Amino acid sequence: MDLRRPVSKSMRRLPRSFFERPTLEVARDLLGRRLVRLIRGHRISGRIIEVEAYIGEDDLASHASVGRTARNAAMYGPPGHIYVYMLYGRHCCLNIVTEPEGFPAAILIRALEPEEGLSWIARRRRGIRIQDWLRGPGRVCAGLGIHRALNGHDLCAPDSQLWVEWGKPIPNDQVASSPRIRVRGDLLARTRPWRFYIRDHPLVSR
DNA sequence: GGATCGATCGGCT
DNA sequence: GCCGATCGATCCG
Protein backbone atom coordinates (compact mmCIF):
# COMPACT_ATOMS: atom_id res chain seq x y z
CA MET A 1 0.00 0.00 0.00
CA ASP A 2 1.19 3.47 -0.81
CA LEU A 3 1.24 5.31 2.51
CA ARG A 4 1.77 8.66 0.84
CA ARG A 5 -1.77 8.43 -0.45
CA PRO A 6 -4.68 8.95 1.94
CA VAL A 7 -6.64 5.76 2.57
CA SER A 8 -10.17 7.08 2.59
CA LYS A 9 -11.78 9.12 -0.14
CA SER A 10 -12.78 11.64 2.51
CA MET A 11 -9.15 12.74 2.81
CA ARG A 12 -8.27 12.90 -0.88
CA ARG A 13 -7.90 16.30 -2.46
CA LEU A 14 -10.50 17.71 -4.82
CA PRO A 15 -9.15 17.69 -8.40
CA ARG A 16 -9.17 20.74 -10.63
CA SER A 17 -12.13 19.32 -12.57
CA PHE A 18 -14.27 19.82 -9.45
CA PHE A 19 -13.79 23.60 -9.73
CA GLU A 20 -14.08 23.81 -13.50
CA ARG A 21 -17.87 23.42 -13.43
CA PRO A 22 -20.66 26.02 -13.30
CA THR A 23 -20.10 28.11 -10.18
CA LEU A 24 -23.49 27.55 -8.54
CA GLU A 25 -22.99 23.81 -8.85
CA VAL A 26 -19.54 24.02 -7.28
CA ALA A 27 -20.71 26.38 -4.51
CA ARG A 28 -23.47 24.06 -3.39
CA ASP A 29 -21.15 21.06 -3.72
CA LEU A 30 -18.43 22.63 -1.56
CA LEU A 31 -20.65 22.38 1.51
CA GLY A 32 -19.40 19.60 3.77
CA ARG A 33 -15.97 19.49 2.10
CA ARG A 34 -12.87 20.02 4.21
CA LEU A 35 -10.58 23.03 3.77
CA VAL A 36 -7.09 22.10 4.96
CA ARG A 37 -4.13 24.36 5.73
CA LEU A 38 -0.71 22.85 6.37
CA ILE A 39 1.54 24.90 8.64
CA ARG A 40 4.90 23.50 9.63
CA GLY A 41 3.54 20.00 9.11
CA HIS A 42 0.39 20.58 11.16
CA ARG A 43 -3.06 20.18 9.66
CA ILE A 44 -5.52 22.95 10.45
CA SER A 45 -8.90 22.27 8.92
CA GLY A 46 -12.62 22.82 8.96
CA ARG A 47 -15.78 21.71 7.19
CA ILE A 48 -17.14 24.26 4.75
CA ILE A 49 -20.58 25.29 6.00
CA GLU A 50 -21.30 28.62 4.25
CA VAL A 51 -20.25 30.04 0.86
CA GLU A 52 -21.22 32.74 -1.66
CA ALA A 53 -20.93 32.68 -5.46
CA TYR A 54 -19.76 35.66 -7.53
CA ILE A 55 -20.25 34.99 -11.23
CA GLY A 56 -19.09 36.90 -14.28
CA GLU A 57 -18.71 40.60 -15.07
CA ASP A 58 -22.51 40.97 -15.24
CA ASP A 59 -22.75 40.24 -11.50
CA LEU A 60 -22.60 43.76 -10.10
CA ALA A 61 -21.68 42.47 -6.64
CA SER A 62 -18.55 40.83 -8.00
CA HIS A 63 -15.15 42.48 -8.01
CA ALA A 64 -15.04 41.45 -11.69
CA SER A 65 -17.96 43.75 -12.53
CA VAL A 66 -15.45 46.54 -13.30
CA GLY A 67 -13.60 44.36 -15.79
CA ARG A 68 -10.19 42.83 -15.41
CA THR A 69 -7.77 44.73 -13.16
CA ALA A 70 -4.58 43.90 -11.28
CA ARG A 71 -6.61 43.29 -8.14
CA ASN A 72 -9.17 40.83 -9.51
CA ALA A 73 -6.93 39.10 -12.09
CA ALA A 74 -6.99 35.83 -10.15
CA MET A 75 -10.75 35.56 -10.75
CA TYR A 76 -10.02 35.31 -14.49
CA GLY A 77 -7.38 32.65 -13.95
CA PRO A 78 -7.59 28.86 -13.93
CA PRO A 79 -10.09 27.05 -11.69
CA GLY A 80 -8.78 25.71 -8.41
CA HIS A 81 -6.63 28.78 -7.77
CA ILE A 82 -7.52 31.24 -5.02
CA TYR A 83 -8.38 34.92 -5.00
CA VAL A 84 -7.46 36.58 -1.70
CA TYR A 85 -8.21 40.26 -1.15
CA MET A 86 -8.10 42.68 1.72
CA LEU A 87 -11.21 44.38 2.98
CA TYR A 88 -11.51 47.43 5.25
CA GLY A 89 -7.76 47.44 5.56
CA ARG A 90 -7.84 44.72 8.19
CA HIS A 91 -9.45 41.53 6.94
CA CYS A 92 -8.52 39.05 4.24
CA CYS A 93 -11.18 37.07 2.39
CA LEU A 94 -10.64 33.74 0.65
CA ASN A 95 -12.27 32.88 -2.68
CA ILE A 96 -11.86 29.75 -4.79
CA VAL A 97 -11.81 30.40 -8.53
CA THR A 98 -14.25 28.38 -10.67
CA GLU A 99 -15.18 27.81 -14.33
CA PRO A 100 -12.75 27.57 -17.26
CA GLU A 101 -9.88 30.06 -17.41
CA GLY A 102 -10.92 33.43 -18.83
CA PHE A 103 -14.36 33.57 -17.23
CA PRO A 104 -14.24 35.51 -13.94
CA ALA A 105 -16.03 33.63 -11.16
CA ALA A 106 -15.22 32.62 -7.62
CA ILE A 107 -16.70 31.32 -4.40
CA LEU A 108 -16.23 33.21 -1.15
CA ILE A 109 -15.65 30.91 1.81
CA ARG A 110 -17.75 32.48 4.59
CA ALA A 111 -17.61 29.94 7.41
CA LEU A 112 -16.03 26.68 8.53
CA GLU A 113 -16.75 24.29 11.36
CA PRO A 114 -13.36 23.75 13.06
CA GLU A 115 -12.11 20.15 12.75
CA GLU A 116 -8.34 19.79 13.17
CA GLY A 117 -5.58 21.92 14.65
CA LEU A 118 -7.85 23.32 17.34
CA SER A 119 -5.04 24.26 19.72
CA TRP A 120 -3.22 26.10 16.91
CA ILE A 121 -6.35 28.06 16.04
CA ALA A 122 -6.97 28.77 19.72
CA ARG A 123 -3.57 30.45 20.02
CA ARG A 124 -4.28 32.81 17.15
CA ARG A 125 -7.89 33.46 18.12
CA ARG A 126 -7.34 34.28 21.78
CA GLY A 127 -10.33 35.68 23.58
CA ILE A 128 -12.78 34.66 20.89
CA ARG A 129 -15.55 32.13 21.51
CA ILE A 130 -14.97 28.77 19.82
CA GLN A 131 -18.17 29.12 17.82
CA ASP A 132 -16.80 32.33 16.32
CA TRP A 133 -13.32 31.07 15.42
CA LEU A 134 -14.03 30.42 11.74
CA ARG A 135 -17.41 32.11 11.33
CA GLY A 136 -17.16 34.96 8.85
CA PRO A 137 -14.84 35.33 5.83
CA GLY A 138 -12.26 37.41 7.70
CA ARG A 139 -12.13 34.91 10.52
CA VAL A 140 -11.69 31.97 8.14
CA CYS A 141 -8.48 33.59 6.88
CA ALA A 142 -7.28 34.69 10.31
CA GLY A 143 -7.93 31.22 11.75
CA LEU A 144 -6.14 29.34 8.98
CA GLY A 145 -3.28 31.79 8.50
CA ILE A 146 -4.33 32.76 4.96
CA HIS A 147 -2.92 36.12 3.86
CA ARG A 148 -2.71 38.31 0.77
CA ALA A 149 0.59 36.83 -0.36
CA LEU A 150 -1.33 33.63 -1.20
CA ASN A 151 -3.43 35.44 -3.83
CA GLY A 152 -3.35 33.42 -7.06
CA HIS A 153 -2.09 30.29 -5.31
CA ASP A 154 -3.07 26.91 -6.82
CA LEU A 155 -5.04 24.68 -4.43
CA CYS A 156 -4.50 21.71 -6.75
CA ALA A 157 -0.69 21.94 -6.97
CA PRO A 158 0.88 18.78 -5.49
CA ASP A 159 3.03 20.81 -3.07
CA SER A 160 0.27 23.20 -2.01
CA GLN A 161 0.00 24.02 1.70
CA LEU A 162 -3.72 24.73 1.24
CA TRP A 163 -6.30 22.47 -0.40
CA VAL A 164 -9.83 21.05 -0.20
CA GLU A 165 -10.65 17.40 0.57
CA TRP A 166 -13.79 15.44 -0.32
CA GLY A 167 -15.01 15.29 3.28
CA LYS A 168 -18.67 14.43 3.58
CA PRO A 169 -21.15 15.90 1.09
CA ILE A 170 -24.39 17.44 2.33
CA PRO A 171 -27.73 15.98 1.15
CA ASN A 172 -29.98 18.34 -0.80
CA ASP A 173 -32.57 18.63 1.96
CA GLN A 174 -29.95 20.11 4.29
CA VAL A 175 -28.77 22.78 1.86
CA ALA A 176 -30.33 26.24 2.11
CA SER A 177 -29.76 29.34 -0.01
CA SER A 178 -30.34 33.06 0.42
CA PRO A 179 -29.26 36.40 -1.03
CA ARG A 180 -25.63 37.27 -0.37
CA ILE A 181 -24.74 39.03 2.85
CA ARG A 182 -24.24 42.81 2.71
CA VAL A 183 -24.64 43.11 -1.02
CA ARG A 184 -26.47 46.35 -1.80
CA GLY A 185 -27.42 48.44 -4.79
CA ASP A 186 -28.45 46.67 -7.98
CA LEU A 187 -31.68 44.72 -7.54
CA LEU A 188 -30.48 41.53 -9.23
CA ALA A 189 -27.16 41.58 -7.39
CA ARG A 190 -28.77 41.89 -4.00
CA THR A 191 -31.60 39.40 -4.52
CA ARG A 192 -29.95 36.50 -6.33
CA PRO A 193 -29.91 33.50 -3.96
CA TRP A 194 -26.22 32.83 -4.41
CA ARG A 195 -25.35 32.19 -0.78
CA PHE A 196 -25.41 28.53 0.23
CA TYR A 197 -25.21 27.13 3.74
CA ILE A 198 -26.02 24.09 5.82
CA ARG A 199 -29.56 24.50 7.08
CA ASP A 200 -29.88 24.90 10.86
CA HIS A 201 -26.13 24.68 11.38
CA PRO A 202 -25.34 26.56 14.61
CA LEU A 203 -22.07 28.01 13.30
CA VAL A 204 -23.35 29.62 10.09
CA SER A 205 -22.75 33.39 10.24
CA ARG A 206 -25.68 35.71 10.95
C1' DG B 1 -1.80 63.30 -5.59
C1' DG B 2 -6.11 63.06 -2.91
C1' DA B 3 -10.74 61.34 -1.93
C1' DT B 4 -13.81 57.69 -1.47
C1' DC B 5 -15.37 53.20 -0.43
C1' DG B 6 -15.62 48.43 0.98
C1' DA B 7 -18.16 40.51 -0.15
C1' DT B 8 -15.91 42.86 8.00
C1' DC B 9 -14.72 42.41 12.87
C1' DG B 10 -14.64 43.28 17.67
C1' DG B 11 -15.55 46.21 21.37
C1' DC B 12 -18.67 49.00 23.62
C1' DT B 13 -23.44 50.72 24.74
C1' DG C 1 -27.37 47.32 17.82
C1' DC C 2 -23.88 50.67 16.56
C1' DC C 3 -19.46 52.51 15.49
C1' DG C 4 -14.55 53.05 14.59
C1' DA C 5 -10.60 50.87 12.68
C1' DT C 6 -7.46 50.83 8.67
C1' DC C 7 -5.48 50.48 3.90
C1' DG C 8 -5.43 48.94 -0.93
C1' DA C 9 -7.85 49.62 -5.19
C1' DT C 10 -10.07 52.64 -7.92
C1' DC C 11 -11.58 56.94 -9.71
C1' DC C 12 -11.22 61.74 -10.48
C1' DG C 13 -8.76 65.84 -11.61
pLDDT classification of A3: cutoffs 50, 70, 90: low
Q: Is A44 inside any structural domain? A: yes
* Residue A125 structural domain: 9-198
What would the pLDDT profile of A142-196 be if each residue is shown by its tens digit?
999 999 999 999 999 999 999 999 999 999 999 999 999 999 888 999 999 999 9
Q: Is A169 inside any structural domain? A: yes
**pLDDT above 80 for A5:** no
- Protein-to-nucleotide distance from the CA of A12 to the C1' of B5, whole angstroms: 41
Bases on strand B under 7 Å from any protein CB: 6-11
Rounded Cα distance between A107 and A33, Å, is 14
> Cβ of A70 < 7 Å from strand C?
yes
Q: Considering only CA atoms, which residue is closest to the C1' of nucleotide C9?
A: A71
Q: Is A203 inside any structural domain? A: no
Its pTM stands at 0.95
Q: How many CB atoms are located within 10 Å of the residue A167 CB?
A: 23
Residue A47 sits in a domain whose CATH number is: 3.10.300.10
As for how many domains chain A has, the answer is 1
- Protein-to-nucleotide distance from the CA of A1 to the C1' of B4, whole angstroms: 59
Rounded Cα distance between A165 and A203, Å, is 20
β-pair partners for A175:
A198
- Protein-to-nucleotide distance from the CA of A31 to the C1' of B13, whole angstroms: 37
Q: Is A2 inside any structural domain? A: no
β-pair partners for A162:
A37
Q: Using a pLDDT cut of 70, give the percent of chain A over it.
A: 96
Rounded Cα distance between A92 and A84, Å, is 7
Q: What's residue A127's pLDDT?
A: 80
- Protein-to-nucleotide distance from the CA of A161 to the C1' of B2, whole angstroms: 40
- Average pLDDT for chain A: 94
Q: Identify nearest nucleotide to residue A137 by CA to C1′ distance.
A: B8
Q: Is A69 inside any structural domain? A: yes
What would the pLDDT profile of A82-119 be if each residue is shown by its tens digit?
999 999 999 999 999 999 999 999 999 999 999 999 99
Q: Is A102 inside any structural domain? A: yes
Q: What's residue A128's pLDDT?
A: 86
List residues with CB under 7 Å of strand B.
A 52, 54, 61-64, 75, 83, 86-91, 93, 95, 106, 108, 125, 127-128, 132, 136-139, 142, 180-184, 205
Q: What's residue A74's pLDDT?
A: 97
- Protein-to-nucleotide distance from the CA of A70 to the C1' of C1, whole angstroms: 37
Q: Is A107 inside any structural domain? A: yes
Q: Is A4 inside any structural domain? A: no
Q: What's residue A124's pLDDT?
A: 87
